[in-house]
Chains A and B, each alone.
Chain A
Amino acid sequence: MAYSPHTDADRATMLRAAGAHTTDELFEDIPEQIRDPHLDLPDPLSELEAVEAMRDLEALNRWPLRAKDYFIGGGAYRHHVPAAVAAIAAEPSLYTAYTPYQPEMSQGMLQAIFEYQTAIARITGLEVANASLYDGSTAAYEACAMAVRQTRRRRILFDRSLDPHTRELLAGYGRTVRIEMIEQDYARTGAEGPDQLAQGMDDSYAAVVVQNPDFFGRITDCTALAEAAHRVGALLVMRVNPVSLGLLKTPGEMGADIALGEGQPLGLSLNYGGPYLGFLAARRKLIRRMPGRIAGETVDDQGRRGFVLTLQAREQHIRREKATSNICSNQALCALTAMAHLSVIGRKGLRQVAELCLHKAAYARETLGAVDGAELVFEGPHFNEFVLRLAKPVADLFREMGHAFEPGIRLNRWYPELSDCLLVAVTEMNTRESIDRYARRLKEWLCS
């Protein structure tokens, strides 16, 4: 579709067809006192002035650091995104494509969404996926809502190793839609988590929600928990890091019913917190409980393959208060970017990134844990994050060393019992040298 501005001749033709002499005439039904509101806006800027204004804002960033000196994660991570990904996403016919409700003019975007859904279903090991949701935390709520609809029970179980933002969101929704969100304390190790949750399960629960790797980076196997949940007629919902799926046992293999997560690590920038990408996949039998858009593959009246939005009768604009969700949209551009990223790096690439994260994080754990005054808090296998306890106040580390590198995330905000701790994240962007440098600086600071 070409984007060409109207000419005066276009306007004249349209006005004639509308039976008006001027554009102002078209607005005569609006009461005069509100027809032309005064907007107190500054004068418009030229492109040059606008760019300079943005550069001034940018200059306010105090510490421009190299990616390898960032050790922050907590759900969103710095990964390498091949240049081809941005080039594909910037393709104008995809970048500017609108909501694909008219399939006859949206085949490109619909095909991209269909491929995205296929990729998400494959990496999670499940059978169906939707066109995406706002972010990982929203997806977690929607998964709980699916379980509530399926089982007709209104209780959800999880523990504190589930991402704190997700738990906050679940609590908020739970209060409004009256679903009981039951929170347990986390287990000593990743391995013990599922057992502890299984003990808390009974047939009053719609689902149990587990994060793997959990917020502390610990890896766990939920296969036994899936069985325990199914025995009492409940579902297993898993929140996962999509990059970790390149290497770890998938939710599908573990017996999970629904898998979801934050898709930012699949080719999206950190974006200062958003827009992000919520992915959601499930067993086929749950497809009609799934919220949001779903692209389907079909044939036209000449037998040619085509794509359409399907199962729309469950959506809010048709079903209203009985819809699967208030959401009837998706993060199209972000999903497209994630699809482009996955297709550029491929199955092997995803595995390679996961391996690099795992190995580098293991090296960092060993190296930082060996520093006097620093202690590893949790034992057992980890993916790309771990918790480090420091002998001196964590706030001081940020104050004194923050100009040189980003050591991690302070946990005091959500885990008061871990206020002397840091959550350290490592990806393929961190080098051996930058990890060694972290250890040196940590040692220096702890000794001073």
Chain B
Amino acid sequence: MNPKDLKYTREHEWVRVEGDTCTLGITDHAQEALGDVVYVELPEAGDRFDAGEAFGSVESVKAVSDCYLPAAGEIREVNGALADSPETVNKDPFGQGWMIKFAPEDPGALEALMDANAYEAFLQEEANKG
């Protein structure tokens, strides 16, 4: 369900580490909770954010959720296709629904993120609380 080769944040984002660049999107759990995505607000290449800072947001018919950068870094690329087809986030959250590619200033900062198993346990915990 949640790809094994990815890392996960407590804000339901996934990160794929590829050398010194990372790709980021929201998880299947997140897209399901949001409902039909109608708009994705993305930053511009070159923008810099601190760890935990909101870099953009995902808007559905019922809510707007901020998206946070898990580690301080600079945006390298954004997924322009989402402007015309925001529903891609719902249809393919781990693939074509990627949102940004960024270069973390400290690659070590990503080690604290959850792996797929830990994320699944986290989802279970959240479900039990709810």
Tell me how far the C-beta of A107 lies from the nearest C-beta in chain B, rounded to whole angstroms: 20
Segment from A166-174, A312-320, A401-409 that makes contact with B: A312-320
Complex interface: chain A residues within 8 A of B63 (CB): 313, 318
Complex interface: chain B residues within 8 A of A322 (CB): 64, 66
Tell me how far the C-beta of B9 lies from the nearest C-beta in chain A, rounded to whole angstroms: 19
B66 touches A313 (CB 8 A): no
A314 to B60 Cα, complex, angstroms? 10
Tell me how far the C-beta of B114 lies from the nearest C-beta in chain A, rounded to whole angstroms: 26
Complex interface: chain B residues within 8 A of A313 (CB): 59-64
Complex interface: chain B residues within 8 A of A288 (CB): 39, 41, 59
Complex interface: chain B residues within 8 A of A318 (CB): 62-64
Complex interface: chain B residues within 8 A of A314 (CB): 59, 64
Tell me how far the C-beta of B73 lies from the nearest C-beta in chain A, rounded to whole angstroms: 18
Q: Which A residue's beta carbon lies closest to that of B57?
A: A322
A318 to B65 Cα, complex, angstroms? 11
Which residues 265-292 of A sit at the B interface, judged by CB distance below 8 A? Answer: 288
Q: Which B residue's beta carbon lies closest to that of A314?
A: B64
Tell me how far the C-beta of B40 lies from the nearest C-beta in chain A, rounded to whole angstroms: 11
A314 to B41 Cα, complex, angstroms? 12
What string of 1s and 0s marks CB contacts (under 8 Å) between A290-324 and chain B? Answer: 00000000000000000000000110001100100
Tell me how far the C-beta of B75 lies from the nearest C-beta in chain A, rounded to whole angstroms: 14
A314 to B66 Cα, complex, angstroms? 12
A117 to B13 Cα, complex, angstroms? 38
Which residues 5-42 of B sit at the A interface, judged by CB distance below 8 A? Answer: 39, 41
What string of 1s and 0s marks CB contacts (under 8 Å) between B49-88 and chain A? Answer: 0000000000111111010000000000000000000000
Complex interface: chain A residues within 8 A of B59 (CB): 288, 313-314
Q: Which B residue's beta carbon lies closest to that of A313?
A: B64
Complex interface: chain A residues within 8 A of B60 (CB): 313
A314 to B39 Cα, complex, angstroms? 12
A59 to B116 Cα, complex, angstroms? 79
Complex interface: chain B residues within 8 A of A319 (CB): 64
Q: Which A residue's beta carbon lies closest to that of B66?
A: A322
What string of 1s and 0s marks CB contacts (under 8 Å) between A318-351 and chain B? Answer: 1100100000000000000000000000000000
A314 to B58 Cα, complex, angstroms? 11
A123 to B125 Cα, complex, angstroms? 55
A322 to B41 Cα, complex, angstroms? 14
Tell me how far the C-beta of A348 lies from the nearest C-beta in chain B, rounded to whole angstroms: 39
Q: Which A residue's beta carbon lies closest to that of B62?
A: A313
A288 to B64 Cα, complex, angstroms? 11
Q: Which B residue's beta carbon lies closest to that of A315?
A: B64
Which residues 349-406 of A sit at the B interface, judged by CB distance below 8 A? Answer: none
Tell me how far the C-beta of A74 lies from the nearest C-beta in chain B, rounded to whole angstroms: 39
Complex interface: chain A residues within 8 A of B41 (CB): 288
Tell me how far the C-beta of B58 lies from the nearest C-beta in chain A, rounded to whole angstroms: 10
**Most-contacted residue by chain B among A288, A313, A319, A322 (CB, 10 A):** A313
Tell me how far the C-beta of B62 lies from the nearest C-beta in chain A, rounded to whole angstroms: 7
Complex interface: chain A residues within 8 A of B66 (CB): 322
What string of 1s and 0s marks CB contacts (under 8 Å) between A122-142 and chain B? Answer: 000000000000000000000
Complex interface: chain A residues within 8 A of B61 (CB): 313
A288 to B62 Cα, complex, angstroms? 15
A3 to B62 Cα, complex, angstroms? 32
A313 to B64 Cα, complex, angstroms? 6
A322 to B59 Cα, complex, angstroms? 13
A314 to B63 Cα, complex, angstroms? 8
Tell me how far the C-beta of A403 lies from the nearest C-beta in chain B, rounded to whole angstroms: 58
A263 to B62 Cα, complex, angstroms? 32
Tell me how far the C-beta of B61 lies from the nearest C-beta in chain A, rounded to whole angstroms: 7
Tell me how far the C-beta of B59 lies from the nearest C-beta in chain A, rounded to whole angstroms: 5
Tell me how far the C-beta of B68 lies from the nearest C-beta in chain A, rounded to whole angstroms: 13
Could you name 17 residue pairs across A and B whose Cβ atoms are closer than 8 Å? A288-B39, A288-B41, A288-B59, A313-B59, A313-B60, A313-B61, A313-B62, A313-B63, A313-B64, A314-B59, A314-B64, A318-B62, A318-B63, A318-B64, A319-B64, A322-B64, A322-B66
Q: A288-B39, A314-B59, A318-B64 are in contact. List 6 more A-B contacts (CB 8 A).
A: A313-B61, A313-B62, A313-B63, A318-B63, A319-B64, A322-B64
Closest 5 pairs (CB-CB, A-B): A313-B64, A313-B59, A319-B64, A313-B63, A318-B63
Interface residues of B (CB under 8 A from A): 39, 41, 59-64, 66
Interface residues of A (CB under 8 A from B): 288, 313-314, 318-319, 322
